[in-house]
Amino acid sequence: RPQARSTGERVLVLIKPDAVQRRLTGEILRRIEAKGYELVALRVLTPDAATLAAHYAEHVTKPFYPGVVDYMTSGPVVAAVVAGQRVVEGVRSLMGATDPTTAAPGTIRGDLGRDWGTSAIQNLVHGSDSAESAAREIAIWFPELT
């Protein structure tokens, strides 16, 4: 069967429900590929509460977490494993700041984000924030890769 070629650093990317609904999947993957990163795995699914609780373990007790669950279960997401040199930092840089209203122009969130005024920040994408987070998150979304 086909094998992922990639060696080296990997990151988990989620294209969140607002981005999928707004037909931004191609544009977001285009930016990731244009930067030179390699797509290693790709899946479309609507996350369940257990998957989100594992993924957002550091946030489950925060006041905004119920809004995150409503947001993230509102429709399908695209989950991807992306590889490349210093890809964790690189994808964070491509995404921009958490809140699209302050994310810099030129970033995914800065260029494409909208302020919906909802209970969770709807910011189009997720990218793991460290190599350790990436390994943990890839095991959640792509158990077959680990």
Smallest separation (angstroms) from ligand RTP to the CB of 2: 28
Write down the least CB distance from residue 120 to ligand RTP, Å: 4
Which of 47, 125, 126, 128 does the annotation list as catalytic?
126
Task: Let me know if 59 is a catalytic residue.
Answer: no
> Nearer to ligand RTP by C-beta: 2 or 47?
47
Beta bridge partners of 125: 15
Residues at the contact surface with ligand RTP, assessed by CB under 6 A: 59, 64, 67-68, 98, 120-121, 123, 126-127, 129
Q: State the DSSP code for 119.
A: S
Residue 8 Cα to chain centre, angstroms: 19
The CA angle 100-33-98, to the nearest 5 degrees, is 15
98 appears as a binding residue in the annotation:
yes
> Is 92 annotated to bind ligand?
yes
> Could you tell me the two tokens for 114?
């909208």
User: In the numeric block, which tokens belong to residue 34?
Assistant: 């244009």
35 annotated as ligand-binding: no
Of residues 5 and 29, the one with the C-beta less far from ligand RTP: 29
To the question of whether residue 109 is assigned a binding role by annotation, the answer is yes
**CA-to-CA distance for 7 and 82, rounded, in angstroms?**
11
Spatial neighbors of 73 by CB under 8 A, at least 6 apart, are 17, 46, 47, 48, 49, 52
The catalytic residues are: 126
Known binding site for ATP: residues?
A: 16, 64, 92, 98, 109, 123
- Binding-site positions: 16, 64, 92, 98, 109, 123
